[in-house]
Homo-oligomer: A and B are copies of this chain.
Amino acid sequence: MTSAAFDVLGIGNAIVDVISHADDAFLIKHALNKGSMTLIDEARAEALYASMAPAVEISGGSCGNTMAGVASFGGKGAYIGKVRNDQLGAVFAHDLRATGVAFDTPLATSGPATARCLILVTPDAQRTMNTYLGACTGLGPADIDPKLVGAAQVTYVEGYLWDAPEAKKAVLKAFDAAHAAGRLVSITLSDSFCVDRYREEFRTLIRDKVDILFGNESEIKSLYQVESFEAALEATRKDAKVAALTRSEKGSVVVRDGEIHAVPAAPVARVVDTTGAGDLYAAGFLHGFTHGKSLAECARLGGIAAAEIISHVGARPERPLRELA
C-alpha cells in the first residue's frame, strides 16, 4: 500500500444524539422497538422529544463515533457527512474536528435541519434509537472527492447510508474511487432491520466490493437468514474477504480465508449505555488494521474501545483510547 495521508476515511449520517433515560413502560407507551434504530420524520421527532425526560446532546452518528474513536487511538481520520448550517450542525462539526478528524463536507444551507437521534437508555443499559435524518438526506455523489478517498488507506461506511438514496450513490462512488487508487473499502451492517431493508444489495456488495465487513450477531444472522451464529459465520467466510463479527459480552470473531480468531470481550466494571459499542469496536479494529496489526490484535483493540464506550453515557470516547490500548 502506498503511503496515505489518512488511515481511515469515514462516510456516514452526521447526527447529534439527544440522550435521555427512560423505563420500559415509556418504550411500550410510545411503541418503540427496544435495542434497534427506527427512522422517524420531523413531526414524530418533535412529538417524541416533547414526551422525553431532560436530555443531553452529544455528537453521534455511527460512523462519526467510529472516526472519533480512530482519532482517540491516535489515528489519522477524515469524515464525509452532511449537516446544515444550524446550531446542531456547528456542534457536530466542532466535536469531530476537536478530535482531530478532518471534516470539510460543505454544509447544507437550505432544506431540513441537522439530523438528530433521540436515544432512550433503559435501566438495563440498552439503547433504543429514533433517528430523524434531516440534512443527511442531502449527502450525495458530489460530496465525494476521489482525491480524498485515494488519500485514505481504508474508506469505511455505515449500512445506514442506504436509507438515503443519494447517500448510497455517494458510497458506491467512493468505493470505486478507493479501489481505483488501490485502497480498501469497509462497511458495517449497522442494524438488523437495516439489513432486512437492503439484504440483497448488501450481500452482493460484500461478495463483490467490500474488503472488511463489520456486523454483530443479529445483523449477520439477518444477512444470511440463518438461525445460528455458526451458520452465519460459515456463510460470511464464503463471501467476505475479512469479517469482524461482534457478539456483545461473548467478544468477537474475525475471519479471513482460512484464518479464524475468537477474541474475548474486554472487561467492563458496569455497563451504563451500550450506544456506540459496535461503532467503537470498528474504530479499534480499523486503527489496528491500518497500523499493520494482526487480526487478533485488531479485535482486541476493538474490544477495548467498545468496553470504554459502554461504561458511560454517550457514544464518543471520554478517555484517550491510545492510553487504554
Contacts and interface: CB of A to CB of B under 8 A. Distances in A.
A54 B314 CA distance: 12
A113 interface: yes
B56 A58 contact: yes
Tell me whether chain A's interface is mostly helix, strand or loop, or mixed: mixed
A53 interface: yes
Contacts of A296: none
Contacts of A113: 87
Contacts of A55: 91, 94-95, 98
A314 B56 contact: yes
29 contacts: A20-B98, A49-B94, A50-B94, A52-B94, A52-B98, A53-B98, A54-B59, A54-B68, A54-B94, A54-B95, A54-B96, A54-B98, A54-B99, A54-B316, A55-B91, A55-B94, A55-B95, A55-B98, A56-B56, A56-B57, A56-B58, A56-B314, A57-B58, A57-B91, A86-B87, A87-B87, A87-B88, A87-B113, A87-B114
Interface residues of A, number: 25
Nearest to A58: B56
Contacts of A20: 98
Interface string A93-114: 0111011000000000000011
B54 A57 contact: no
